[in-house]
C-alpha cells in the first residue's frame, strides 16, 4: 500500500512541475503543496486525500525535533511518540513540585505504578528503566500524549540516589536538563533550541484533517477513561467512546479505593469499601457521559489482574508493609497473571465488584436523564471465553436495573451489553456470543498475545527484537496487525457473528486501530467502528476517510 | 456416549438373565461376567468390547481401596490416581532413606522441584501444599504411576518443623502412618487393612486389554522420557513414543547440567557445560531408542520456561544463594513465563542449546545404527507460531547432520521434523506448517490454555472449581476436551494441513489422549495417532479399539 501511495504522491509532485522526489518532501510540505492545489481548483478534496498517504499525515502531526546537536545518554524502547525536554526528577512527588514551580520535568522511575499517575500528569515525559509497549508507563503516556521511553538498555534508574547511572559511567542527577524522544526511545543531555520545540499542528495539516472528518468514513471512537480524554476525542471528531476502562478510572489516589475493596473479607468493612468504589465510579461515569452526551460510551468492566492493585512482595523488602496486605497479595499471586482472574472472571468470583460498577453506571445514567441529558452507556464484558459468562453479566445488569426501579427494555432503561473478543475461544464461539450480545468489540492486543502465545511486555524486551533481527518476523505483531494468523480469527468472528445477527455492531479497540495500514484492513474485514487512543483519533479518521475515497465503489 | 454404552451393558446383563442393574456391577465384575460369556461362545471378542465401556475398564484398572474406616486429615486436589499408604516424610532425602530401609514413605513438601525427583521415585505417594494438575509433582507422579494430592485446602506443610499442620489444629509428624487417595485428593491418618491394598490387575481385565490390543485400532504411543517408561509403554502395546520431553530427561541430579548451560555466559565454561549437556542427553537418547528399537521416538526439544531450572528469588530469603545465580534468575524473570521464551523460542535465542540437543540425538542414532539397531528418532519443535521457526530448526538439523558427516536424505540420515500445534497461531497456519513439516503433533494442554486464556495451575485452584459450581462450565477444559472451542481449531488444523499434504501424520499428545470419551472424538477428527502417559496406554488403547468395533463401517 505504501509504495502505491508514494507513486501517487510522485505523480502529484510531477503535475506541480517540481523535480522534488517524494522522499524529500516532508509530511508538512506535502500537505501544504496539496492544499495550494486544492485552493487553485486543481484538485478536489477527495483527490487531496488520495494524494497524501496517512503515513505522511502521521509524520506531519509529530514534526521532527532536531536532536542532532545533543549528546545521547541512554537508549531504550520508544513507547509513546513525541519529543520533550525538562529537568530530571526521580519521584512523582518531585514531578508535581516542579510543575507547581512552573518547571517542565522529565520523570525517571524504575517502573511506574498506578499511584505515580499524578507525577506522570505533571511531567512532560516519562522514562522507566523497565517496561514495554503495554507497561503502565507506556499506556498512560500514550493516553496523556506525552513522550515515553522504557526498557533502558544501557542505564539504570537509582531512585534512592536520585540519578540515572549509565553503562558508560555517567551520572545524571536531579535537576539536569534532558530531552526524551519517545519514538526512538532515546534520552539526551540538554535541550534543543526553544524555537524548534512545540511547533504545534501546521494549519494546512489541520485543514486536511477537517476535510477528512467531513467525508463519509467508518466511525472512529476514542479510548477514554477521563472527561479530559473524552473531550479531546470529541473535539477530534470521535463518534463516541469505544473503550472506557474502569481500572484506568481508579488510578492515582483512587487506587486505594479498589485495593480496599479487594482486600477486605466480606463483611461490614467490605460494604464501606464497595460503597466508596461505587461513589467514585458514579462520579466518573457521570462526568464522561456528560462530555459524550448523545454519543455511545462503552464501559469495560474491571479487567486488570488483581495483583496490579496490591503491593509487590519485592516492595516489602524495601519498606515494611502491613502483614494483612502482604498476605492478601501472596494469596492472590498468580504464576501467569495475564491468564488469570481478570475481566469477567473477576466479576464472577467477586460479584460484589461487578455490582458496584453496574450500579454506578446505572445511577449515573439515571441522574443525567433526570437532568435532561441523553446518556448512552454500553457495558463491555472483557476476557469472555464462554457465552454463559456474558449471560451472567446481562442477568446481573437486569437485576441492578430492577433494584434501581427501572425495568429493562422496552419500557425502561436499556443498556446494551457486549462481549470483548480477546480470547481465541471467544472468536471461535462468536456465533453463540452474537446471539447473547448487543455488540462485540475485538481487543487486538490480548487476542494477538493469546494467538501467538506471547506476553507482550516480556517479548518486546528480548524475543521480538531478536526475531526481527533473525528474519523470522518483519515486525512485531503488536505493532503491525498479524493479518495471516490473528486476522483469520477476526474474519471468522465477523463472518460467523453476522450469520447469527446480520446487523450486529462489531467494533475493534486494540492499539492496531491507531495504525493507518491496519485501519484499511479492518475496514475491509467488515468492522462497524474502530476505537483508538485520543492522540490517534485524527490519523485513524484520516486513514478511514482516505480508504473510503481510494477504494473502488 | 456414556448413556449409549450403559444401555448396551444393560442389554448384555439382560441376556445373562440377571436382574443386576449396570450401576451395581463394578468394573471388575462386569469384565469377569463378559469373559465367561466369551468363553462359553455366547459373545465374540468384538462383542465383549462393545459390552464393556472404557470407563468401567478404567475403574477396574484402579480398584477402589476402602478408606471408610480412616480419619481424613487433609483435603486437596487429586492429580494422580491410586491409593497408597506409608510413613510421612518431609524431604526427598528422608524419602530415599526410608526406601533404603525398606519402608514405604509418603513425601510431603510445600511444592516439588526438579531436584526432588529421587525422593518422589523412592516414595509411594507425594502430597504438596501448592500446585495443580500440571504442577511438577502432578506430572511426575502420573508418569511414575504414584498417587499424588496437591493444593491442600486445609493444611500446610511445615518442612522445617517436619510436620503437616491442619486447619483443625492437628499436627502430623515425621513417621506417622498416612494414606493418600490421589483421585479424591485426600490424606488420611493410618492405613487400610493390608488385604485391601495393591490387589494388582484382575486376570479378566488383563484378558480384555489383550483382546483390545490385538484388534485393529488407531495407534497409541506413549509419552516417555526414560527407558523405564519407554519399556512400560512398549509392554502395554505402545506403537512408539509420541512425546519424549528433553526437560524431563534433565531432572534430579542432571538438572544442574542444564542450569549450568543456562547460566554461563558464552565462553570457555559454556563449552564445557554444553558438552556435558550433550553427553547426558546422548546417553539418554541411546537408552530410549534401544528400548523402542524399530518404533518411532518423537523427541521434543527443550520446552520448559528457563526460570524453572533456576532458583526462585523467594528461595534466597531462606538460604543465601550465590549472587551470580540470583542475578541470572532475576534477568530471566518473566511476568508470564507460560507465554515467554520457551520451546523453539529458546532454541532460536540460544542456538547452542538446540545444537547440543540435536547433536546428542544424531550421535545416539548413528551409534545404534553401527550396532545394527534400527533407531527411528523424530524431532518435534514446540511452541511454534510461525513457519519460519520450523524451517530454522530443520536447517539447523541438516547442518548438524553435515557436521557429523551424514548428508540428509535420500542417501544418509534422515530424521523427520515436526511442529507441535499448541499456539492458536500454529493451528491457524497449519497449512503453511504442513508444507514444511514431516508430521504435526497437537498439544492439547497448552492449546487449551491459550484458546481459553487460562493458566492451568492457577485456574485449577480457584477459577475452574468456582465456574463448575456456578454452572458456567460442566467440567474443566483440562479434564474433558473442549470440542466446541479448542476442537474447532483441531478440526481446522487437520483439514487445512491435509489440503497441503493428504498423507501427513498428525498425532496428539496432550493429557486428553488418556481420557476415553475424548479418544473417540480424536479418532473421528482424523488424527493419525494418540500419545499418552504410560499408565494410560492400556485404557487409551482399549478406548481406541472399542471405538473401532462400535463405529459403523
DSSP string, B347-378: HHHSHHHHHHHHHHHHHHHHHHHHTT---EEE
Please judge whether B453 and A385 are an interchain contact, meaning their C-beta atoms are less than 8 angstroms apart: yes
Partners of B530 in the beta sheet?
B220, B508
| CB atoms closer than 10 angstroms to residue B161 | 13
Q: Give the minimum alpha-carbon distance from B383 to chain A in angstroms, rounded to a whole number.
A: 8
| CB atoms closer than 10 angstroms to residue A103 | 14
Chain B residues within 8 A of A335 when measuring between CB atoms:
337-338, 455, 457-458
- For B401-422, write each residue's pLDDT tens digit: 988 877 665 557 889 999 999 9
B346 touching A (Cβ < 8 Å): no
| Chain B interface disruption, residue of A425, A436, A483, most B CBs within 10 A | A425
Q: Are B441 and B243 in contact (CB under 8 A)?
A: yes
Can you tell me the distance from the alpha carbon of A157 to that of A179, in angstroms, rounded to the nearest whole number?
16
Please judge whether B422 and A453 are an interchain contact, meaning their C-beta atoms are less than 8 angstroms apart: yes
Nearest to B221 by CA among B373, B378, B351, B364: B378
State residue B11's pLDDT score: 33
Locate the DSSP E strands across B273-398: 296-300, 376-381
Distance of CA B127 to the CA centre of its chain: 18
Can you tell me the distance from the alpha carbon of B496 to that of B492, in angstroms, rounded to the nearest whole number?
6
Can you tell me the distance from the alpha carbon of A194 to that of A183, in angstroms, rounded to the nearest whole number?
20
- What's chain B's length in residues? 553
Please judge whether A473 and B386 are an interchain contact, meaning their C-beta atoms are less than 8 angstroms apart: yes
Can you tell me the distance from the alpha carbon of A294 to that of A277, in angstroms, rounded to the nearest whole number?
26
Chain B residues within 8 A of A349 when measuring between CB atoms:
462-463, 466
| Residue whose C-alpha cell reads 499511584 in the numeric block | A115
Q: Which of residues 487-516 of A touch B (CB under 8 A)?
A: 488-489
Please judge whether B458 and A340 are an interchain contact, meaning their C-beta atoms are less than 8 angstroms apart: yes
| Chain B interface disruption, residue of A130, A339, A347, A394, most B CBs within 10 A | A339
- For A62-87, write each residue's pLDDT tens digit: 766 778 889 999 999 998 888 899 99
Which residues have C-beta within 8 Å of that of residue A147, sequence separation ≥ 6? A80, A81, A82, A83, A84, A124, A125, A126, A141, A180, A181, A182, A183
Per residue of chain A (553 residues), what is the pLDDT tens digit?
A: 333 333 333 333 333 333 333 433 577 889 999 999 999 999 999 999 999 999 889 888 876 677 888 999 999 999 888 889 999 999 999 999 998 898 999 999 999 887 788 899 899 999 999 888 777 888 788 877 789 999 999 999 998 889 999 988 999 999 999 999 998 899 999 998 765 555 567 889 999 999 999 999 999 999 999 999 999 999 999 999 999 999 989 876 777 788 777 776 656 677 888 899 999 999 999 999 999 999 999 999 999 777 676 665 554 444 556 676 667 667 777 888 899 999 999 999 989 999 999 999 999 999 999 999 999 999 999 999 999 999 999 999 999 998 887 766 555 788 999 999 999 999 999 999 999 999 999 999 999 999 999 988 788 778 998 898 889 999 899 989 999 999 999 999 999 999 999 999 999 998 899 999 999 999 999 999 999 999 899 999 999 999 999 876 5
B333 is catalytic: no
pLDDT-derived band at B17 (thresholds 50, 70, 90) equals very low
Q: Are A365 and A413 in contact (CB under 8 A)?
A: yes
E strand or H helix at A379: strand A376-381
Q: Are A353 and A346 in contact (CB under 8 A)?
A: yes
Helix B203-214 / helix B54-61 crossing angle, nearest 10 deg: 130
pTM for the whole thing? Answer: 0.84
- For A266-304, write each residue's pLDDT tens digit: 566 778 888 999 999 999 999 999 999 999 999 999 997
Chain A residues within 8 A of B475 when measuring between CB atoms:
none
ipTM of the modeled complex:
0.83
* Nearest CB to B455; choose among A335, A389, A423: A335
Can you tell me the distance from the alpha carbon of B450 to that of B342, in angstroms, rounded to the nearest whole number?
14
Locate the DSSP E strands across B425-539: 439-442, 506-508, 529-532
B401 is catalytic: no
B311 touching A (Cβ < 8 Å): no
Please judge whether B388 and A345 are an interchain contact, meaning their C-beta atoms are less than 8 angstroms apart: no
Nearest to B382 by CA among B445, B432, B320, B331: B445
Which residues have C-beta within 8 Å of that of residue A61, sequence separation ≥ 6? A27, A201, A205, A538, A539
Please judge whether B340 and A455 are an interchain contact, meaning their C-beta atoms are less than 8 angstroms apart: yes
Catalytic residue among B163, B244, B401, B509: B509
Please judge whether B349 and A486 are an interchain contact, meaning their C-beta atoms are less than 8 angstroms apart: no
Residue B60 in grid coordinates: 477396574
Can you tell me the distance from the alpha carbon of A147 to that of A128, in angstroms, rounded to the nearest whole number?
12
Amino acid at each position: 500500500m505504501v509504495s502505491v501511495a508514494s507513486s501517487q504522491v510522485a505523480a502529484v509532485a510531477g503535475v506541480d512541475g517540481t523535480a522534488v522526489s517524494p522522499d524529500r518532501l516532508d509530511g508538512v510540505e506535502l500537505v501544504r503543496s496539496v492544499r495550494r492545489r486544492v485552493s487553485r481548483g486543481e484538485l478536489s478534496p477527495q483527490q487531496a486525500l488520495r494524494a497524501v498517504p496517512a503515513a505522511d499525515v502521521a509524520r506531519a502531526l509529530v514534526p521532527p525535533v532536531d536532536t542532532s546537536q545533543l549528546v545521547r545518554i541512554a537508549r531504550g524502547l520508544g513507547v509513546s511518540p513525541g519529543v520533550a525536554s525538562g529537568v530530571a526528577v526521580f519521584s512523582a512527588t518531585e514531578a508535581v513540585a516542579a510543575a507547581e514551580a512552573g518547571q517542565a520535568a522529565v520523570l525517571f522511575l524504575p517502573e511506574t505504578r498506578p499511584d505515580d499517575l499524578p507525577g506522570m500528569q505533571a511531567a512532560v515525559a516519562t522514562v522507566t528503566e523497565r517496561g514495554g509497549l503495554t507497561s503502565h508507563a507506556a499506556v498512560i503516556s500514550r493516553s496523556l500524549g506525552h513522550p515515553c521511553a522504557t526498557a533502558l538498555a544501557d542505564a539504570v534508574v537509582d531512585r534512592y540516589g536520585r540519578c540515572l547511572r549509565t553503562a558508560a559511567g555517567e551520572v545524571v542527577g536531579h535537576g539536569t536538563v534532558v530531552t526524551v524522544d519517545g519514538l526512538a526511545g532515546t534520552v539526551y543531555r540538554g535541550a534543543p533550541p526553544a524555537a524548534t520545540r512545540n511547533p504545534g499542528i501546521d494549519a494546512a495539516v489541520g485543514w486536511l484533517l477537517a476535510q477528512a472528518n467531513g467525508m463519509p468514513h467508518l466511525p472512529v471512537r476514542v479510548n477514554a477513561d477521563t472527561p479530559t480524554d473524552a473531550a479531546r476525542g470529541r473535539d477530534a471528531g470521535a463518534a463516541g467512546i469505544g473503550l472506557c476502562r474502569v481500572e484506568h478510572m481508579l488510578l492515582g489516589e483512587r487506587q486505594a479505593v479498589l485495593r480496599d475493596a479487594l482486600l477486605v473479607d466480606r463483611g461490614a468493612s467490605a460494604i464501606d469499601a464497595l460503597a466508596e468504589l461505587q461513589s467514585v465510579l458514579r462520579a466518573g461515569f457521570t462526568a464522561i457521559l456528560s462530555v459524550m452526551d448523545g454519543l455511545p460510551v462503552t464501559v469495560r468492566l474491571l479487567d486488570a489482574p488483581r495483583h496490579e492493585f496490591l503491593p509487590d512482595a519485592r516492595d516489602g523488602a524495601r519498606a515494611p508493609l502491613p502483614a494483612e496486605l502482604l498476605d492478601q497479595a501472596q494469596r492472590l499471586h498468580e504464576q501467569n497473571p495475564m491468564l488469570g482472574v481478570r475481566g469477567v472472571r473477576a466479576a464472577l468470583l467477586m460479584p460484589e465488584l461487578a455490582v458496584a460498577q453496574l450500579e454506578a453506571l446505572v445511577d449515573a445514567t439515571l441522574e443525567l436523564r433526570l437532568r435532561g441529558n441523553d446518556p448512552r452507556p454500553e457495558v463491555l464484558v472483557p476476557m469472555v471465553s464462554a457465552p454463559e459468562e456474558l449471560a451472567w453479566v446481562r442477568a446481573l445488569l437486569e437485576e441492578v436495573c430492577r433494584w434501581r426501579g427501572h425495568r429493562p427494555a422496552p419500557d425502561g432503561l436499556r443498556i446494551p451489553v457486549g462481549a470483548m473478543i480477546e480470547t481465541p475461544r471467544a472468536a471461535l464461539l462468536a456465533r453463540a456470543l452474537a446471539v447473547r450480545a448487543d455488540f462485540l468489540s475485538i481487543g487486538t492486543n490480548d487476542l494477538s498475545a493469546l494467538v501467538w502465545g506471547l506476553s507482550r511486555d516480556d517479548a518486546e524486551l528480548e524475543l521480538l527484537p531478536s526475531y526481527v533481527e533473525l528474519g523470522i518476523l518483519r515486525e512485531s505483531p503488536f505493532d503491525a496487525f498479524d493479518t495471516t494468523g490473528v486476522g483469520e480469527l477476526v474474519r471468522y468472528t465477523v463472518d460467523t457473528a453476522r450469520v447469527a445477527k446480520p446487523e450486529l455492531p462489531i467494533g475493534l479497540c486494540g492499539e492496531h486501530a491507531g495504525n493507518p495500514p491496519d485501519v484499511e484492513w479492518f475496514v475491509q474485514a467488515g468492522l462497524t467502528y474502530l476505537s483508538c487512543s485520543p492522540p490517534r483519533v485524527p490519523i485513524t479518521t484520516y486513514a478511514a476517510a482516505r480508504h473510503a475515497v481510494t477504494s473502488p465503489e
